[in-house]
Structure 1
């Protein structure tokens, strides 16, 4: 059984993606393409609504349902959060993005908190990481707010629309979250 949906408060719900979400997801990516492509490598691979459909079909078929989902306020898509599992079920990495008009309201922080709970409590992970562009202050603020430890810089660890960029690497251990 999926640990989602999770009520994040303020009328926002984190829930699994469903095929009827296709139009809302596509519209959000198109609207935010230029802004998020700087930091999010996935945007380059989503050029048509059919590309988005292919991705969505894969996500919907994920029976475990632990990979994350979308943040929704009614029928409005606000952004997404994912928990990608590493080998051997020891660690995971959280990634996220939010539409510009919904930034600064704590939605991503609350969604990440829910994903951390799922990672440690439901999946038994030992470690969760968050990587954010060193120059992406808003994204870096999320793990800092959640008590992650800054570990250092992964040089040119990702590529966006402006080329390769360095990542700030943060981690949180299960015992730190429980304390």
Structure 2
């Protein structure tokens, strides 16, 4: 199994596979209220069967080259993750997403992990456009999009029903030439 170091703080990025369903569920239980504020992941993973099913869906996406999921571990404990919710290699488009439990917030983990997978998508898979869709109320996630050099494309007004309320969704993106130029500059 591989892992990618995310810095000097014992943080690693690893594939999040179905055999880790129990660990994934325990992680969701620790962060359920926090994670569920803006995304449906916490409501989708509620027991061992749903945890296994969710991770199997991403294993199938990986096998069909239409998505990927990675966990973020700190000191060998799963604390969050990043994923390609969608990945359309022929058209060169992908949507990246993230989540963290409260213990991992404010350490730059999502930004570092997203950089790793976006770089892989652009340089290895030939993805031209990477999108970041985020609830307009989720300011920390919007801040990550900005740190990644993304541009706000627009707002889909009240497009996402979440826990009985409709949310505005902001769409941010970065194009491969912009990503490469920012990489050379840093």
State TM-score, norm by structure 2: 0.86
How do 1:3-152 and structure 2 match up within 5 A?
A: 5-9=3-7, 10-61=9-60, 62-63=62-63, 67-83=68-84, 84-86=86-88, 88-152=90-154
Q: Spell out, residue by residue over 1:109-153, the C-alpha distance to the aligned partner (whole angstroms, 9 max, x if none).
A: 001101110110111011001011111110100010111111121
| Shift in Å, 1:66 | 6.1
Unaligned runs of 5+ in 1: none
Q: Is residue 134–residue 166 contact of structure 1 (8 Å, CA) maintained in 2?
A: yes
**Cα distance in 2 for residues equivalent to 1:152 and 1:66:** 24
Give the match's secondary structure for 1:30.
helix
Cα displacement (A) at 1:6? 1.9
SS of structure 1 residue aligned to 2:78:
strand
RMSD: 2.1
Structure 2 Cα separation of the partners of residues 86 and 65 of structure 1: 6
Shift of 1:87: 6.9
Consecutive unaligned residues of structure 2, counting only runs of 5 or more, are 182-186
Aligned residues: 177
Post-superposition Cα deviations, 1:18-63, rounded to whole Å, max 9, x if no partner, equal 3442222101212222222221123333232111111223334534
Q: Give the Cα separation in 2 of the matches to 1:14 and 1:65.
A: 19
Higher relative contact order (CA 8 A, sep 6+): 1
List, as ranges, runs of 4+ consecutive aligned residues in structure 1 with deviation greater than 4 Å. none
Instruction: Give TM-score, length-normalised by structure 1.
Output: 0.89
